[in-house]
Amino acid sequence: MSKVKKAFFCQQCGYESVKWVGQCPSCGQWNSFVEELVQKDNGKTKADWNNYDGEKKANKTIALDEVTTGEEVRIITPDVELNRVLGGGIVAGSIVLVAGEPGIGKSTLFLQNGLQLSNTRVLYVSGEESAQQIKMRAERIKGNNPDFYLLTETSTQTIFQEIKKLKPQLVIVDSIQTLQTPFIESSAGSISQIRECAGEFQRFAKETNTPVFLIGHITKDGNIAGPKILEHMVDTVLQFEGDRHYAYRILRTLKNRFGSTAELGIYEMNADGMRPVTNPSEILITQKEEQLSGIAIAATLEGVRPLLIEVQALVTQSVYGTPQRTVSGFDLRRLQLLLAVLEKRGGFHFGVKDVFLNIAGGLKIEDPSIDLAVLCALLSSYEDVPLPPQVCFAGEVGLSGEIRAVNRIDQRIAEAEKLGFEKIIVSRYNQKSISKQKFNIEIITMGRVEEVYSYLFN
């Protein structure tokens, strides 16, 4: 009989130690080590994927010049938003981790995609729900794939036995935290179990060239549950975001070995499942009957997609000793920088004002090109004067009060023109990069914050 092996694992990063330590040597977290039973049973054998697709695979050393390259084989799904965030479709042999809040719609989205993938044999493995529960959800989702199969199981050994019989072309696992491998004695959801199960699915995906989606949980801090090595093992990490009280959901790419990490997919949750939103600019701009102060429209980019978003600002007299700075969807330090620019270069006394800033629609924007729109929304609320209704902004603001040029200005201008805006204010230094094609929108170029204030409020 082999001796029972126990080890201590960091719950944050998965670092393994033979004894308990107060601070993790890897991630620096305090009091994060938990004891787990780690006993590998040598009597069991792991799945062998040779001859899975009729070919005997043999790994050998090969010169780099002998490696043949080509376009990755991708499965194009009917979901245009999922194709976008994956970089053009599902890559054969890739392993994708999808995480999000409970109840946000992860299972619904991938059940829907599995049902809509015609001519593709899909295996949906669920360790959380029964077959009857999945059937009830499938009945209200549009899609009818005759090659869609269910397996309600948590043991990886049983799952791989069924995979060998079925030979699916796509595997969806819901969720990785519920699986348990017989090679590790600890309970499901523990650090060692998650790492071992993910490792088995990674080996399966690479050796059989079968794409695998792993649906995962997140912690109360918003991080993906499990060891950090889980994110390193997979090819792509997607984060499903949104407020369950609103209809819109955002699928964001955090890591992608086959495409850009700046892509964004937007969905609307309805009774029939997740509906891809192909023109998000229309839903991100509020339709108002009267003009209100503190609202500006910014032309931004998420990946290769241009978006027009609504920036809302509220500036009020501070009643406490220290003025408040509250933001939603924007970087707080960036807001403080813009307020300092207005104090120094414009002479506005924001030091005695409470400032609240919100990006409408629940988006989180990191593009510095919305600086000019944020600044104009702050000035509009400060002066309590609405901005002209058909004007939008695209420009970065520097510390000396200059308006800096932004990239891909033509796409931003074209999106503003498509949505019916009459004017767009951009940096003077963008003039050279604006193409010679004729736009029907008036392009106003300015170089300083003072010029923008004089144009809008004088």
Q: What is the pLDDT of residues 415-424, one digit of tens each?
A: 999 888 999 9
User: What's the number of domains the chain is made of?
Assistant: 3
Q: Looking at the domain assignment, is residue 158 inside a domain?
A: yes
Shared-domain flag, residues 357 and 437: yes
Burial degree of 336 (CB within 10 A; 0-12, 13-18, 19+): middle
> Which structure tokens are listed for 409?
């200005």
- Nearest of 266, 298, 297 to residue 280 by alpha carbon: 266
- Is 227 annotated to bind a ligand? Reply is no
Containing structural domain, residue 263 = 75-278
Shared-domain flag, residues 272 and 390: no
Shared-domain flag, residues 266 and 307: no
- Work out the pLDDT band at 26, boundaries 50, 70, 90: confident
- Is 309 annotated to bind a ligand? Reply is no
Shared-domain flag, residues 291 and 263: no
- Is 106 annotated to bind a ligand? Reply is yes
> Which structure tokens are listed for 184?
């590790």
- Is 102 annotated to bind a ligand? Reply is yes
- Work out the pLDDT band at 362, boundaries 50, 70, 90: confident
- Is 101 annotated to bind a ligand? Reply is yes
Q: In whole angstroms, give the CA distance from residue 121 to residue 168.
A: 5
- Is 129 annotated to bind a ligand? Reply is no
Cα–Cα distance list, 216 to 126, 128, 175 (Å): 12, 11, 5
- Is 194 annotated to bind a ligand? Reply is no
- Work out the pLDDT band at 56, boundaries 50, 70, 90: low
Shared-domain flag, residues 170 and 253: yes
Q: In whole angstroms, give the CA distance from residue 379 to residue 81.
A: 36
Shared-domain flag, residues 293 and 252: no
More confident residue, 433 or 58: 433
Shared-domain flag, residues 89 and 219: yes
Q: What is the pLDDT of residues 278-300, one digit of tens each?
A: 888 877 787 776 788 999 999 99
Q: Looking at the domain assignment, is residue 67 inside a domain?
A: no
Least confident of 39-53, 77-91, 235-249, 428-442: 39-53
* Final residue belonging to a domain, choices 254, 278, 302: 278
Share of the chain above pLDDT 90, in %: 52
- Is 318 annotated to bind a ligand? Reply is no
Over range 19-32, report the average pLDDT. 88
Over range 109-121, report the average pLDDT. 92
Q: What is the pLDDT of residues 38-48, one digit of tens each?
A: 765 555 566 77
More confident residue, 249 or 397: 397
Q: In whole angstroms, give the CA distance from residue 382 to residue 317.
A: 10
CATH number of the CATH domain containing 101: 3.40.50.300
